Structure formats: C-alpha cells, structure tokens
Amino acid sequence: MAEILVLVDHADGAVRKTTTELLTIARRLGEPSAVFIGSGYDAARDTLAQFGAAKVYVAENPELVDHLVAPQAEVLAQVAATAQPAAILLASNPDGKEIAARLAIKLESGLITDAVDVVAADAGITTTQSVFAGGYTVTARVTHGTPIVTVKPNAATPEPAQSTPVEEKVAVSISDTAKRARIVERAARGESGRPELTEAAIVVSGGRGTGGDFGPVEALADALGAAVGASRAAVDSGWYPHAHQVGQTGKTVSPQLYVAAGISGAIQHRAGMQTSKTVVVVNKDAEAPIFSMADFGVVGDLHTVLPQATEEITKRKA
Amino acid sequence: MKIVVLVKHVPDAAADRKFDEADYTTDRVSVDSILSELDEYAVEEALKISDAGDAEVIAVTMGPEQAQDAIKRALQMGADSGVHVLDEALHGSDALATSQVLAAAIEKVGEVDLVFTGMASTDGGMSVVPAMLAERLQLAHVGFVGELTLDGGTVRARRDADVTETVEAALPAIVSVTDQINEPRYPSFKGIMAAKKKPVQTWSLADLGIDAGSVGLSAAWSVVASVTARPPRTQGEVVTDEGDGGAKLAAYLADQKFI
Ligand SMILES: Cc1cc2nc3c(=O)[nH]c(=O)nc-3n(C[C@H](O)[C@H](O)[C@H](O)COP(=O)(O)OP(=O)(O)OC[C@H]3O[C@@H](n4cnc5c(N)ncnc54)[C@H](O)[C@@H]3O)c2cc1C
C-alpha cells in the first residue's frame, strides 16, 4: 500500500489534536507515515504510535526551530522524494499552509487547502471544501504530481489504532535561502486551562454585546468544557486577546457546538464559524442576522441568559 | 527603495458570490467587485514607508479588465504606478499559475526590495500565493504580520500565527500583512485626481515570457469535480427570554447531548 505522509503539528513534541485527525484520515487512504520535524520527538513517539503511524520520519535539528517554515518544506520535500507517497496531508493552519504552498512548487504538485474531508474515490483522492463562507460545498482532486492537502481541524474524529512504527532518522541539510527568515522570539502559548480554540469541540464566543465583560461567556465555556472565542469588535475594543478572534482575519473554527453571544453575525465573522455543526445564539435583537443560522436561539440579554444557563448546566451535571 | 504591492480585485463579499455555471470558476464578471479589503492594509503599509522616506510604490494585479479598479484604488490611496497583467489565457488559473505569473511580473519590475500582500484574498482565501512567490523567487517570506519595523536592510515583524513570533529577515523579502497592522487611509480628493495621471502598464503573458499553455483552467493541477450550493441553514427554534431563557438554552443543550 502506498504511503500517506502526515506532517506532525507539535510544540516541542506535544502533538496537537489535528495530527491525530490527519493520521485517522491517512489510514483510510493508505499507509500512514508521520513526518516529525523540529525537536522533542521523544515526547511525540507514543501519540504517533497510538494513532497508527506505520512509519515515522524523524528530522531533529535546532535550525529547523529557529527559522520560519522554509526549512520544514525542504525536509518534507526531501522525505517525499524518497518515499514517493500517494498524498501528503498537513494541518490547515498558518504554518501548515505556508509549508504546503512551498512544497507544491518544489514537488510540482497540485495543492488543495482547507479540506473538511478527504476520501479515496475511484477517480483518486478526493477532497471536500466549504467555500464562500459556507455557501457552497466543492469536491476536488489533484491532477498533477503528488496530491498535497491541508485539512481543517475537526475534519475527522481521532480513532486510536496502536502500531509499532518503524523510525527513520532523516539527515537534515538546509539551504541558506531557507534560513532567510529567523525567529528571534516566540511567545508562549496562552495558558487559560481551556481547550485550544481551533481544536475545541465546543466554542462559546462573545461580541460587542458583552459590553466588555467576558465573565458570563467564560463561565458558560467552563461549564461546557469549551474554548472562548471573540468577534473582532470585542478584540478591537481590547476586551479579549486577538488570538481568540473568530472570523476571516482570525481563527477558523469548526466545532460540534458554537455559541454566539452578543454577536450580530457579520459575514467576516460567519466566515470563521460557518462550518460549525450546531449554532446557538443569544442576542437581544431579534433581527440580528446571526439568528438566520441558529439551530436554537434566545432573544434576550446575555448578562442574564448566560448565567442562568451556566447555573442550570452545573446543576444538571451534578 | 522599490516596493511592490500585490492587489486583487474580488467579488464583494457582501454581494451574492457565485460560481460560473459552465466551468466552476469564480464568477468575476457579473458580480459586484472591489479591491480585496485585506489588500488595503498592504497598500497602507507600503505608503507608510514611502511617507517616511524615499520609496517608489508599484501596485501589481493580475485579472480581467475590471481588475484595473483594484489598481485605481491603490493609486488613489497614493501608490506611484500600476501594472496590470491581463491575458485571456489566465482565466481559471490556480494558485500555482497565479504565483508563476506574479513572480515573473515582480522580476520584470526589477530590483524590488519589498513585496507586500494581504493575508488572504477575500474570495479564494487560500493564503498560499505569497509563500509560493517566495519559493519561486527564493526570497524570505513573513506571513500574518501584525506589526512591522524597517531597520536599514532588515525587516522585523510580529507574526500572529498560531503563536506570536518575532521574526527578522534581510531584504529583499515578501511580507503578508493582517488587518491588525494599520488603519488604511481613504483616498483624498487630491489623491483621486492625481491617480488619473499616474502611469499604468498592461502586460500580457508574452511580455512576461510565459507560455499561455502553462496557465489557465486547463493547466490547473487540480480539478473541481462538483459544486453544490448548500441549502441556507434553516433557522431552528428561537425563544424570547421571559425569565427562563437560560434554562431553555440549557434544556436544548442537554437534549442535544452537549451536557
Ligand atoms: C477586513 C475585515 C476583516 C474582518 N474580520 C473579522 C473577523 O475575523 N471576525 C469578526 O468577528 N469580525 C471581523 N470583521 C468585522 C465585522 O465586519 C463586524 O464588524 C464584527 O464581526 C462585529 O462584531 P460584533 O458582532 O461583536 O458587533 P456588532 O455588530 O456591534 O453586534 C453586537 C451584537 O450584540 C447584540 N447585543 C448588544 N447587547 C447585548 C446584550 N446585552 N445581550 C445580548 N446581545 C446584545 C446586538 O444586538 C448586536 O447584534 C472584519 C471586518 C473587516 C472590514
């Protein structure tokens, strides 16, 4: 069976959930090989085996961590040249997309981004995308070279399948051109104790309607084990960090449940959450456009509705 | 210093965007179009540098006839000149072909120190063209830039990707900016009048030495197999809070097994 390369998305070896989703998808397409680039492989080993990697290519080198993505694209191209995979899967996040873009040029291969599903069809590996703010569903195939696909978070439910991967060390040689953009400082990931926004199964977001008090939004999020999101209006007002912005110029989320509180539903906001499975809205204006996409909505003041919901949920869980 | 800003003319996101029925390409003709909002931040960042010192700002676009409106807007904001790559053969080009054409255009402009782009177009939204350009031109690329300083021959940028990073790169470089970086100016009346006299060149694929067979829909390295309009989300139950809205919300979530 042909190899399917999966680029491991990790922070110092802590494997992110999207990678376990990619490995699950890769198992349906062929034989999954994980490509680990960076440092901290020891911490990643068990997770990659648990989700069925048949092989792991390991490229550990500090120069890979000190520069923006170009060196990673070189390593991945190097691995692809020998492995001759049937497809290469990466996470649809900023780094993943930039690596995929460079790889497409290096391998002279077609690229599909932001897939919400990837299947093996008679005609070849076929992707599904949701475009124009979710208004259309598009299926597509790569017709030239090795299909390179970036996949959105929550495209699959990670299914464990224990394996004993063969480990292959990759000798890393990085060109000078790839070292042109140097990372001089990296902020730590924010530690809120909540799930990561793009990976979370439930997201509770607040907008201008919070009036600056995210307390009720955070409390509901915690009762549901959810991540917290924000509209740009809330971020621009300085009420919540930009890293939590959902939308066209923020994060794209695709959770099982999205709760929008005090958010009107501008197209730029919808672009970031339109593929959510279930949408719940709390807004005091019955005419707010966001209601048109609500599976359930409450017309009311979020400052009373959210705390009551939180209390009720806590009671039900007890 | 020479700065190129890549601008794109896109269907207005607020209008009803659709696909061409015949070949599944984005309908760029019958739908209202504008300069991609996200490119205005790129134009602004280039103009800030030229306001502060000596820089020539050239707006470059590729697209059909109406794409000149994107250039016009950049010139009205204050760019010095424009280049419009226009060729029938370009219809339906994928990101790979687009990056091939734009890379050739940047090389033809010549001796470019900085290339600014938006973080994504508001239509295709792939965010891959800038990195492809960097790969083709063998330049540094810093994407998702929310803050930029230029210090002699080095750019220092805050990159707001999954985590926030500070990145340094020597010029020449390609920088893609986010909507956090600045507040784009509106064209002034003077700017609108001045734009009419600014030079805009139109280049064909032949001018760029690109074979028409290597671009366009038929040369794309991926194909769309199907396009389905998603039925608009049907609105579910909406209740008005009469003191029990929160409890009803919790009941719904329990019903859907979220609790
Ligand atoms: C280039 C560009 C990129 C953009 N990118 C993004 C993006 O990534 N993400 C994003 O979100 N936006 C983005 N925007 C901004 C977008 O257009 C909207 O301005 C923004 O989403 C509005 O945020 P909001 O819904 O919180 O605020 P508003 O539109 O002001 O809505 C507030 C809502 O809260 C309700 N409300 C008020 N008080 C209460 C209360 N007490 N209880 C309940 N409801 C209440 C009101 O009825 C209203 O519906 C972008 C805009 C541009 C031009």
Could you give the ipTM of this predicted complex?
A: 0.91
Same domain, A210 and A99: no
Chain A residues near residue B94 by CB distance under 8 angstroms: 110
Cα gap A259→B117, rounded to integer Å: 33
Interface test with B, best of A131, A198, A270, A315 (most B CBs within 10 A): A131
- What is the token pair recorded at B212? 């028409």
Cα gap A186→A200, rounded to integer Å: 23
Cβ atoms of A273 and A246 within 8 Å: the answer is yes
Cα gap B41→B63, rounded to integer Å: 20
Nearest to A300 among B18, B221, B245 (CB): B245
The pLDDT tens digits for B203-250 are 999 999 999 999 998 899 999 999 998 877 788 999 999 999 999 999
Question: Within a domain: residue A185?
Answer: no
CA dihedral B31, B35, B41, B45 (to 10 degrees): 170
Cβ atoms of B106 and B137 within 8 Å: the answer is yes
Our CA-based measurement puts residue B51 at a distance from the nearest CA of chain A, in whole angstroms, of 26
Tell me how many domains chain A contains: 2
Task: Mark yes or no for CB contact B167/A97 under 8 Å.
Answer: no
Cα gap A144→B68, rounded to integer Å: 32
Cα–Cα distances in angstroms (integers) from residue A78 to residues A35, A38, A181, in the given order: 11, 15, 20
A256 burial type by CB count under 10 A (0-12 exposed, 13-18 middle, 19+ buried): middle
Mean pLDDT of chain A: 94
Same domain, A234 and A155: no
B15 touches chain A (CB under 8 A): no
Cα gap B243→B223, rounded to integer Å: 53
Cα gap B106→A314, rounded to integer Å: 59
Task: Mark yes or no for CB contact B249/A181 under 8 Å.
Answer: no
Question: Within a domain: residue A85?
Answer: yes
Of A156-165, A184-193, B107-116, B215-224, the range with the lowest mean pLDDT is A184-193
B236 touches chain A (CB under 8 A): yes
Task: Give the residue, A264 or A137, on which the prediction is more confident.
Answer: A264
A94-107 and A70-83 helices cross at what angle (nearest 10)? 50
Question: Within a domain: residue A190?
Answer: no
pLDDT > 90? residue B144 = yes
The residue among A120, A144, A179 that closes a domain is A179
Token pair 């399917």 is at which residue?
A: A4
Ligand 1 atom closest to the Cα of residue B179 is 1
pLDDT of residue A29: 97
Cα gap A70→A114, rounded to integer Å: 20
Nearest to A181 among B169, B226, B235 (CB): B169
CATH fit for domain B2-219, picks 3.40.50.620, 3.80.30.10, 3.40.605.10, 3.30.2310.20: 3.40.50.620
Question: Within a domain: residue A189?
Answer: no
Token pair 């085996």 is at which residue?
A: A49
Question: Within a domain: residue A18?
Answer: yes
- What is the token pair recorded at B76? 């009205």
Nearest to B233 among A143, A292, A310 (CB): A292
Q: Measured in angstroms, how far is the CA atom of residue B72 from the centroid of ligand 1?
A: 30
What are the beta bridge partners of residue B224? A140
Chain A residues near residue B177 by CB distance under 8 angstroms: none
Same domain, A172 and A202: no
Question: Within a domain: residue A191?
Answer: no
Q: CATH no. for residue A254?
A: 3.40.50.1220
Question: Within a domain: residue A192?
Answer: no
Rg (CA), chain A: 21
Cα gap A34→A114, rounded to integer Å: 20
Task: Give the residue, B191 or A192, on which the prediction is more confident.
Answer: B191
Q: Is A175 annotated as a binding residue?
A: no
Q: CATH no. for residue A142?
A: 3.40.50.620
pLDDT > 70? residue B20 = no
SS3 letters across chain B: CEEEEECCEEECCCCCCCECCCCCCECCCCCCEEECHHHHHHHHHHHHHHHHCCCEEEEEEECCHHHHHHHHHHHHHCCCEEEEECCHHHCCCCHHHHHHHHHHHHHHHCCCCEEEEECCCCCCCCCCHHHHHHHHHCCEEEEEEEEEEEECCEEEEEEECCCEEEEEEECCEEEEECCCCCCCCCCCHHHHHHHCCCCEEEECHHHHCCCHHHCCHHHCCEEEEEEEECCCCCCCEEEECCCCHHHHHHHHHHHCCCC
Task: Mark yes or no for CB contact B95/A101 under 8 Å.
Answer: yes
Cβ atoms of A226 and A200 within 8 Å: the answer is yes
Ligand 1 atom closest to the Cα of residue B41 is 1
Ligand 1 atom closest to the Cα of residue B122 is 1
Q: Who lines ligand 1 at CB under 6 A?
A: A 207-209, 231-234, 245-250, 262-264, 266, 268-269, 272, 282-285, 288, 301-303; B 37-38, 179
Chain B residues near residue A294 by CB distance under 8 angstroms: 235-236, 238
B149 touches chain A (CB under 8 A): no
Q: Peptide bond before A160: cis, by omega within 30 degrees of 0?
A: no
The predicted model scores a pTM of: 0.91
- CA nearest ligand 1 atom 14, residue: A268
Cβ atoms of B180 and B211 within 8 Å: the answer is no
Cβ atoms of A199 and A17 within 8 Å: the answer is yes
pLDDT of residue B138: 96
Q: Is A248 annotated as a binding residue?
A: yes
The pLDDT tens digits for A20-50 are 999 999 999 999 999 999 999 999 999 999 9
Same domain, A113 and A231: no
Chain A residues near residue B146 by CB distance under 8 angstroms: 242
Our CA-based measurement puts residue B128 at a distance from the nearest CA of chain A, in whole angstroms, of 5
Same domain, A140 and A51: yes
Ligand 1 atom closest to the Cα of residue B37 is 1
The pLDDT tens digits for A213-247 are 999 999 999 999 999 999 999 999 999 999 999 99
B29 touches chain A (CB under 8 A): no
Residues 55-94 of B with CB under 8 A from A: 94
**Considering only CA atoms, which of B139, B70, B163, B227 is closest in space to residue A179?**
B139
Same domain, A147 and A214: no
pLDDT of residue B123: 46
Question: Within a domain: residue A47?
Answer: yes
Task: Mark yes or no for CB contact B259/A316 under 8 Å.
Answer: yes
- Give me the residue spans of the domains in chain B: 2-219
Cα gap B39→B8, rounded to integer Å: 7
Task: Mark yes or no for CB contact B236/A294 under 8 Å.
Answer: yes
Nearest to A111 among B19, B128, B169 (CB): B128
Same domain, A35 and A164: yes
Task: Mark yes or no for CB contact A68/B142 under 8 Å.
Answer: yes
Cα–Cα distances in angstroms (integers) from residue B3 to residues A23, A264, A288, B81, in the given order: 42, 38, 42, 11
List the strands of the sheet with A111-121, edge to edge.
A166-169, A55-60, A31-38, A3-7, A87-91, A148-151, A111-121, A124-131, A136-142, B222-229
A264 is in which domain, residue-wise? 197-317
Q: Measured in angstroms, how far is the CA atom of residue B30 from the centroid of ligand 1?
A: 29
The residue among A148, A179, A210 that closes a domain is A179
Same domain, A230 and A268: yes
Long-range contacts: B56-59, Cβ < 8 Å, 24+? B56/B1, B56/B2, B56/B3, B56/B80, B56/B81, B57/B3, B57/B5, B58/B2, B58/B3, B58/B4, B58/B5, B58/B82, B58/B83, B58/B109, B59/B4, B59/B5, B59/B7, B59/B83
The pLDDT tens digits for B34-63 are 667 789 999 999 999 999 988 999 999 999
pLDDT > 70? residue B190 = yes
Cα gap A105→B128, rounded to integer Å: 11
- What is the token pair recorded at A168? 């292959």
**Considering only CA atoms, which of B160, B131, B234 is closest in space to residue A104?**
B131
Same domain, A175 and A211: no
Q: Is A269 annotated as a binding residue?
A: yes
